[in-house]
Structure 1
Amino acid sequence: MPTITLRLELFKPTEAKQTMYRQMTAINTEFATWLLLHPEVNQATSKIFKEFSSDPFPSAVVNQTIREVKSQKKKQRAKTFRKMWCCFNNQNFKVEKSGDFYTVSFPTLEKRIGVPVVTRPFQQAWLEKIVQGSVKLGAAKLYQKKRKWYMALPLTWEVEATTKKKVMGIDLGLRYLAVSSVGTQSLFFKGSPCAFVRRFFFSRRRKLGKNKKLQAIRQSKNKESRWMKNLNHQISRQLVNFAITHGVGTIRMEDLTDIRNRAQSKREPGRSMHSWSFYQLKAFIRYKAEMAGIRFEEVNPEYTSQTCKCGHREKRNRQGLRFQCKKCGYDCHADLNGAINIGKAISGLAP
């Protein structure tokens, strides 16, 4: 089942409510840290909170925090949690519609309250589905970011899988960020404009570093990451729309494990490869494909750039962006040939 997270901004909460939210977060963080070291955490129930504190605290939050600590205990190396936001499961959290406005209600230190939320056009459609019960609501999280309070809502729903047989392969790289192939149709996304922007941000941070402007460097990194995320959203949306238009039933991409060690850039091998979020782009393509009912598969990338459609495999077949088979003479764009072979899964599906 596909999953997305809807981020809703709480509409102008009063200072008293914000103080209460911060207090709840502080108590919950201390409780989670205490629980992490408790010898009977695996058998813990909401009653264990009385051992931690005699003050009232919503049992709904306690139960959800216990689940979070249990799931994170094995991979939690630090002995304390920096921040444990309050979470509410779908039995204790509700989304309701009042006129043209939507509200979210959840238990607090005082009582259960309903809070109006700021909704944008695309969010209203999802909120309407929540109210109608056509999507399943996960554990909602109350958190603060840049002096604003938000509620994060994970949503899952059933999607009818397509019965279409067409397969689209997608090859990722630096000179061409993504190349897709389905049948005789292809779609290319050049990497040169993106490389220019990355070099601009890198040069700017280097100058700021010489001037010891550390805060400006952090802000510059945030701007670059936001720009990359937005571009990955655009590329993934165009690729999935391309697949829908051409009746694709399965999208295949190479397994990205160790891609940073496999791929190289002659001009800037380290920085370009490590500054591009391949996994983010793949994740965006995957969840958007699943939302459309398109299957997503990962394939073994071995020899996809060296193999010809005639079956001949040789390292010399590829020279830069040109692929020319040394046996049959087949000539093709190298990344397009890779996308075709990924679609065929010539080295098998990833384990």
Structure 2
Amino acid sequence: MPTLTMKLELMKPTRHKQAIYRQMTELNTRFANWLLGYEELARATSAHFRKFSDEKLPSAIVNQTIREVTSKKKNQKAKIFRRQWCVYNNQNFRIEHENGQYKVSFPTQEKRVGVPVVAKAHQLKRLELALSEGANIGTAMLHEKKGKWFVSVSFAFATPKPAETAKKMMGIDVGLDFLAVGSIGTHACFFSGREVAFHRRRHAARRKQLGKAKKLNAIRKSKGKEAQWMKEMNHLISRRLVDFAVANGVRTLRMEDLTGIRHSAKSKKEAGRNLHSWAHYQLQEFIAYKAAMAGIQVEYVKPDYTSQTCKCGHAEKANRKRHVFRCRTCGYQLHADLNAAINIAKAISGLSATKKAG
């Protein structure tokens, strides 16, 4: 069942509400740290909160915090939690659409509150999809960032059953000069990396100047802006690839398993910035969950020789030169990234044993 998480900004909460949110966060953090040393944690319930404090904290938050601390304690390296945000589950958190606006409601120390949310265009589409298709709300975390309050809500979608007759396979190759190439046979779609490369060079040049001026905060902001821009680009590319797959009746989508691979391919225009620094893993993740929501199965293949192998079976590094693939044995010629995408669709190197189908 594919899961989607959305970060929704609360619309201008009053100072009083913000104070309540902060009080709940501080109390919940103290409670989480108390639980770390509580000997009967495995049997703890909301009733045990009274052993910790006489203050009020909604039982919904208490129960969720007990579950989260129990889960995290085994892997908790630090002796204390720096901050434990309040988390709700689908029994006490609601999201509704009223009078043309979305709002969320949840219990607080004083009462249950309903708060409108600020949703961007792409978020509005996802919220509409989630509510119209009856997606299950998972957990919702109330948190603050740079003076603004948000709820990060997870939705679980039921995967639609694909038609038995739909057997088309699609392969997707990710790269440097072309961020992604999708192939259904020789029917393909290309996504050039020129615009992204331009933005990356611009940000890199900007950070170089800031580094000379020792403006560290400005450097961090520049990195954040670049990451956010790349994230939005990955959302756009993944949406178009999945739409392309749906329009062509694709049943299964295949991508390379890039786990643990540090690519050596470099751009001449971007000295020192190799393929590994690109957000290709993020792009694949976006493709995977969007495909799952559309009822398309996702599989991962071994990356061995997918860019060097001809349809005749001959594999040689010299077969590929930048964007051109030309077989040294049979003379077959094609765009190199398209050839790789076709090989990925065929899974010529076999399915990955480490990253399973979704």
Q: Tell whether the structures are fold-level matches, with TM greater than 0.5.
A: yes
Structure-2 residue corresponding to 1:153: 153
Q: Which residue of 2 aligns with 1:230?
A: 232
Deviations 1:133-168 (A, max 9, x none): 822111111112232222222111213132311111
**TM superposition shift of 1:66:** 1.3
CA distance in 1, matches of 2:197, 2:349: 30
2:203 is paired with a residue of what secondary structure? helix
Question: Are residues 1:184 and 2:178 paired?
Answer: no
Match in the other structure for 1:57:
57
Task: Provide the rounded CA distance (Å) in 1 between the counterparts of 2:133 and 2:60.
Answer: 21
Contact 2:312 2:330 in 1 (8 A): yes
Structure-1 separation of matches of 2:306 and 2:131: 47
1:344 aligned to 322, 338, 346, which one? 346
User: Hey, what does 1:5 align to over in structure 2?
Assistant: 5
Q: Relative to structure 1, is the Cα distance of residues 175 and 126 closer, same or farther in structure 2, using a 3 angstrom cutoff?
A: closer
1:319 CA drift (Å):
2.7
8 Å Cα contact 1:300/1:350 also seen in 2: yes
Q: Percent identity?
A: 56
Q: Deviations over 1:289-341 (max 9, x none)?
A: 11211111111111111211111222322233322222211112221111110
Contact 1:138–1:153 (8 Å) recurs in 2? yes
Q: Deviations over 1:233-288 (max 9, x none)?
A: 1111111111122221111000011232x442163574233431111100111111
Structure 1 residues 208 and 98: CA distance shift in structure 2, 3 A: closer
Which position in structure 2 is the counterpart of 1:175?
Answer: 177
Please report how far the alpha carbon of residue 125 of structure 1 lies from its aligned counterpart in structure 2 after TM superposition: 6.2
Aligned equivalents of 1:114, 1:339: Cα separation in 2:
48
Number of the residue aligned with 1:72: 72
- Number of residue-to-residue matches in the alignment: 350
Q: Structure 1 residues 190 and 89, CA, compared in 2 at 3 Å: closer, same or farther?
A: same
Conserved 8 A contact 2:324-2:336: yes
Q: Which ranges in structure 2 are unaligned for 5 or more consecutive residues?
A: 354-358
**How well do the aligned residues superpose, as a CA RMSD in angstroms?**
2.2
Q: CA contact under 8 A between 2:176 and 2:267: conserved in structure 1?
A: no
Structure 1 residues 333 and 97, CA gap change in structure 2 (3 angstroms): closer
Letter in 2 for 1:33: N
Q: 2: distance between equivalents of 1:290 and 1:133?
A: 14
In structure 2, C-alpha distance between the alignment counterparts of 1:12 and 1:31, rounded to whole Å: 28
Partner SS for 2:274:
helix
* Mapped pair 1:94 → 2:94: yes
The alpha-carbon distance between structure 1 residues 124 and 311, as it changes in their structure 2 partners (threshold 3 A), is: closer
Q: Tell me the residue number matched to 2:291.
A: 289
- 5+ long unaligned stretches in structure 1: none
2:16 paired residue number: 16
Q: Which of residues 239, 252, 255 in structure 1 aligns to 2:254?
A: 252
Aligned to 1:259, the other structure's residue is in SS state coil
Q: What is the TM-score when the length of structure 1 is the normalising length?
A: 0.92
Q: Displacement of 1:99 after TM fit?
A: 4.4
Mapped contact 2:301–2:352 kept (Cα < 8 A): yes
The structure-2 alpha-carbon separation of the partners of 1:320 and 1:90, relative to structure 1 and needing over 3 Å to count, comes to same
Indicate the SS of the match to 1:116.
strand
Quick check: 1:95–1:127 contact (8 Å CA) kept in 2?
A: no
Rounded Cα–Cα distance in structure 2 between residues aligned with 1:264 and 1:49? 55
> Which residue is 2:356 aligned to?
none
User: 2:319 maps to what in 1?
Assistant: 317
Deviation per residue, 1:150-206 (Å, 9 max, x gap): 222211121313231111101111122111111221112222332222121111111
Instruction: Kindly indicate whether the alpha-carbon contact (under 8 Å) linking 2:158 and 2:293 is maintained by their aligned counterparts in 1.
Output: no
- Deviation per CA, 1:44-78: give whole Å up to 9, x if none: 22233223222221111011011112222233222
1:248 & 1:254 partners in 2: Cα distance? 17
Q: Rate the CA distance shift 1:252–1:98 in 2: closer, same or farther, 3 A.
A: closer
Q: CA deviation at 1:111?
A: 2.3
The SS at the match of 2:349 is: coil
Pick closer, same or farther for the CA change 1:285–1:102 going to 2, 3 Å.
closer
TM-score by length of 2: 0.90
User: Closer, same or farther in 2 for the Cα pair 1:132/1:65, shift >3 Å?
Assistant: same
